[in-house]
Amino acid sequence: MTLTCIAVDDEPLALALLSTFIEQTPFLRLVGRYGSGVEALKGLHEQTEKVDVAFLDIQMQELTGLELARVLGQQASAPRIIFTTAFPQYALDGYKVDALDYLVKPFNYEEFLRAANKARAYAELTNGAAEQAATPAPEEDHIFLKVEYQLVRVALNDILYVEGLKDYVKVHLKSTPRALLSLMSLRSMEEKLPARRFLRIHRSFIVALDKIESVRRLTVQIGTETIPVGEQYKEAFGQFLSRWS
């Protein structure tokens, strides 16, 4: 991972050293160096590339590093801030603007690299979380049911249909003629099953859509069983039929 960076310092020698440190760090890329906060704001406005990290001096004329950090913090994709200053008493102010780190001048490359590594770790953590959020979790191929005081693993592909019996559900399976009886409501069972594969068609029945062999009027055929479609479930069943046909 490469992080894009800017360096901002009104002392030419300090700016040159900071720029050199950035350029000699393999995972950092310098996309802008500015001699004042005002120049930095203008440069960032013209910058088409997203900036990941801003190394900011705090004590600058016109616009201080703290003021610049507050302005940058209002942006949708604000860069993380690493302050560089000769005045350690500003450390607390730095943390108030959520600075990632704080380098006290004069600092050497080892100290700079430690702060840069912190920025890289933060970016990797953030990107990893974003990728994980964007990637849907794989759909489970089974559920667990409590049957006679034990948890039984049931493959979704094995379920033909589920029948509601007051406080129990009766799960009819393809692999065995003996149905499983579990103490739970049909509503709870409906929430356990993926809607893409199962549909409640009656107040007492949930069916596996891929196990439906035929449809006749308001009934479905699964194996030897003819299961009715309830009045309040006709619309949802009709939507399924439109895709099925």
What CATH number has the domain bearing residue 185? 2.40.50.1020
Looking at residues 78-106, what average pLDDT do you find?
A: 77
pLDDT band at residue 23 under the 50/70/90 scheme: very high
Strand partners, 237: none
DSSP codes joined into one string, 13-31: HHHHHHHHHHHTSTTEEEE
Say whether both 181 and 204 belong to one domain.
yes
Asked if 78 and 162 sit in the same domain, the reply is no
Asked if residue 147 and residue 124 are part of one domain, the reply reads no
We report the CATH number of the domain holding residue 29 as: 3.40.50.2300
Residues 124 and 155 in one domain: no
How confident is the model at residue 173, as a pLDDT? 96
0.75 cut: is pTM over it? Answer: no
Q: How many domains does the chain have?
A: 2
Region of poorest pLDDT, from 51-60, 78-87, 90-99: 90-99
Distance CA 33, CA 190 (A): 59
Residues 152 and 130 in one domain: no
Examine the domain organization and report whether 123 and 240 are in the same domain.
no
Residue 199 sits in the same domain as residue 115: no
Helical segments of 61-108, H only: 65-72, 91-96
Tens-place pLDDT, residues 60-88? 988 988 899 888 888 778 899 999 988 77
The position carrying tokens 């004042």 is 36
Return d(Cα 121, Cα 19) in angstroms, integer: 21
* Beta carbons within 10 angstroms of residue 73's beta carbon: 13
Q: Of 134, 160, 192, which closes a domain?
A: 134
93 or 7, higher pLDDT: 7
- Per-residue pLDDT tens digits for 128-181: 655 555 555 566 789 999 888 788 999 999 999 999 998 899 999 999 999 999
Among 70, 100, 134, identify where a domain stops: 134
My answer on whether 204 and 110 are in the same domain is no
Please give the Cα distance from 94 to 58 (Å, whole number).
9
Final residue of a domain: which of 96, 114, 134? 134
Q: Which pLDDT value is given to residue 128?
A: 63
Cβ–Cβ under 8 Å, residues 166 and 181: no
Check if the beta carbon of residue 125 is closer than 8 Å to that of residue 1: no
Long-range pairs for 207-216 at CB < 8 Å and ≥24 separation? Answer: 207/160, 207/161, 207/162, 208/156, 208/159, 208/160, 208/161, 209/240, 211/159, 211/160, 211/161, 211/174, 212/244, 215/241, 215/244
Condensed to tens digits (0 to 9), the pLDDT of residues 117-139 reads: 999 988 888 776 555 555 555 66
Taking 80 as the threshold, does the pLDDT of residue 112 lie above it? yes
Does 106 lie in the same domain as 59?
yes
pLDDT reading at 15 higher than 70: yes
Alpha-carbon gap, residue 90 to 74, rounded angstroms? 21
- The reply to whether 75 and 174 lie within a common domain is no
192 & 222 share domain? yes
Range(s) of the domain holding residue 152: 142-244
Question: What's the pLDDT band for 240 if we cut at 50, 70, 90?
Answer: confident
pLDDT at 75: 78
What pLDDT does 72 receive? 87
Judgement on whether residues 115 and 183 belong to the same structural domain of the protein: no
